[in-house]
Amino acid sequence: MYNIVNEDDFKYTMQDVSRYYLGARLSYSEILAEEMAPFKFKTILERYIIKDIDSSTTLESHLYHLTEEDFEYRVYKQLKAKVRVSQLRKGSEDHYQEKVYTMNQLASISAEEKEKAGMIVRELVISKLALLAFSI
């Protein structure tokens, strides 16, 4: 297992020209309270994502267990969301390697396979263009 020194290092909201980045340790209630989170994304969360989910659920936990059958999967897919993960790479010296998955790729991997691969969800990446085009 890994040792987290400062949990807040994984709770952030950032943006660049084309994307928003949200640290996976943020809970949905923290995102809704976050000043830097885009208003439209917060509205999508309230209307579509956290209707049937406890708002204290973290992005990390929710995305880890998300399947193609979940309604939230379709919402994130519509937002062209991607998920940055750290995966354990075994070899002469074990180390973690970062990889970015589309929602299709991530949801197609079962929680058991993610556990076996040593996968840790680090960040949610959302396209600004897809967010703009999303009809509420």
Could you tell me if residue 2 is inside a domain? no
Alpha carbon 38 to its chain's center: 15
Could you tell me if residue 126 is inside a domain? yes
Tally Cβ neighbours within 10 Å of residue 59. 23
Helix %, strand %, coil % for the chain, to 5? 40, 25, 35
Could you tell me if residue 106 is inside a domain? yes
Who wins on pLDDT, 95 or 46?
46
Based on the structure, what is the number of domains in the chain? 1
Could you tell me if residue 1 is inside a domain? no
pLDDT at 7 (0 to 100): 64
By percentage, how much of the chain surpasses pLDDT 90?
81
Instruction: State the chain's mean pLDDT as an integer.
Output: 91
Predicted confidence (pLDDT) per residue in 86-106, tens digit: 998 887 788 889 999 999 999
* Residue 82's CATH number: 3.30.465.10
Could you tell me if residue 53 is inside a domain? yes
